[in-house]
Amino acid sequence: MGQLIAKLMRIFGSQEHKVIIVGLDNAGKTTILYQFLTNEAVHTCSTIGSNVEEIVLQKTHFLMWDLGGQETLRSTWDTYYSNAEFVILVIDSTDRNRLLTTREELYKMLAHEALRDASVLIFANKQDVKDSMTTAEISQVLTLSAIKDHPWQIQGCCALTGEGLPAGLQWMKSQATTK
Ligand code: G3D
Ligand code: MG
């Protein structure tokens, strides 16, 4: 019965894919979530706990959890991991000093059992800022090419204008259909 319902839901395209949005505080996670939802920049406050919204792209439903990124909140990320099919890692491309901290958080997540089958989309955000790091630089520091056990994609973007976000979502949609 459960299987039948799951099959029907897939046919009618209403299967929901759980997504967690992670990254250090100030990376632009909340701005990205609300840009997905409203197609405009909204004023954000520092996230304490989480925001959750449903985003629908051509019949594919994503339930997106935007998690607080401050150091004290990062230890709670793993409580959101179960059943997550996607991780969106948001990077502030102007924040050279903390890219190694992001790297540490990324590899900790990838090693987590609950995320074994998760696909990872990395948004190199704030590409509008002069002298921000390019996706190539970020890929190199994060040694993305060494990640063989998770599908991953890096995408430059600007959450304020939304540039680059649709391409990231399309990649997620293409991954969702292969799951
Ligand atoms: P977080 O949820 O990851 O902590 P927020 O980050 O979404 O709250 O964004 C943190 C700050 O970065 C916000 O500025 C927001 O406007 C800004 N920001 C987000 N995305 C971009 C971007 O693509 N380009 C630029 N230039 N700024 C961005 P404030 O000033 O409100 O703190
Ligand atoms: Mg936030």
- pLDDT at res. 88: 98
| CA pair distance 62, 58, nearest whole angstrom | 11
Residue 147: inside a domain: yes
| CA pair distance 52, 66, nearest whole angstrom | 6
Query: For the whole model, what pTM was predicted?
Result: 0.91
164 is in an annotated binding site: no
Q: Which residue has the tokens 């759980």?
A: 18
- Ligand number, closest to the Cα atom of 33: 1
Expressed as residue numbers, the domain containing 70 is 14-176
- pLDDT at res. 61: 92
The total number of structural domains in the chain stands at 1
94 in contact with ligand 1, CB cutoff 6 A: no
Residue 8: inside a domain: no
Residue 67: inside a domain: yes
- pLDDT at res. 38: 86
- pLDDT at res. 130: 96
Question: Cα 9–151–159 angle (5° rounding)?
Answer: 85
- pLDDT at res. 33: 95
The number of the ligand 1 atom at minimal distance from the alpha carbon of 129 is 26
The number of the ligand 1 atom at minimal distance from the alpha carbon of 44 is 8
117 is in an annotated binding site: no
Between the CA of 92 and the centroid of ligand 2 the distance, in Å, is: 12
Residue 5: inside a domain: no
CATH number at residue 65: 3.40.50.300
- pLDDT at res. 47: 76
- pLDDT at res. 118: 97
- pLDDT at res. 9: 57
Question: Cα 160–163–168 angle (5° rounding)?
Answer: 115
Residue 136: inside a domain: yes
28 in contact with ligand 1, CB cutoff 6 A: yes
44 in contact with ligand 1, CB cutoff 6 A: yes
17 in contact with ligand 1, CB cutoff 6 A: no
15 a catalytic residue: no
Give me the residues near ligand 2 (ion), CB cutoff below 5 Å. 29-30, 47
Question: Cα 163–36–98 angle (5° rounding)?
Answer: 65
Low-confidence ranges of the chain (pLDDT < 70): 1-14, 40, 178-179
- pLDDT at res. 72: 87
Residue 88 half-sphere exposure toward CB, CA atoms < 13 A: 31
The span from the first CA to the last CA of the chain, in angstroms, equals: 21
69 is in an annotated binding site: yes
Residue 144: inside a domain: yes
Residue 64: inside a domain: yes
DSSP per-residue codes, the chain? -HHHHHHHHHHTT--EEEEEEE-STTSSHHHHHHHHHHSS-------SSEEEEEEEETTEEEEEEEE--SHHHHTTGGGG-TT--EEEEEEETT-GGGHHHHHHHHHHHHT-GGGTT-EEEEEEE-TTSTTPPPHHHHHHHTTGGG--SS-EEEEE-BTTTTBTHHHHHHHHHHHHHH-
Residue 7: inside a domain: no
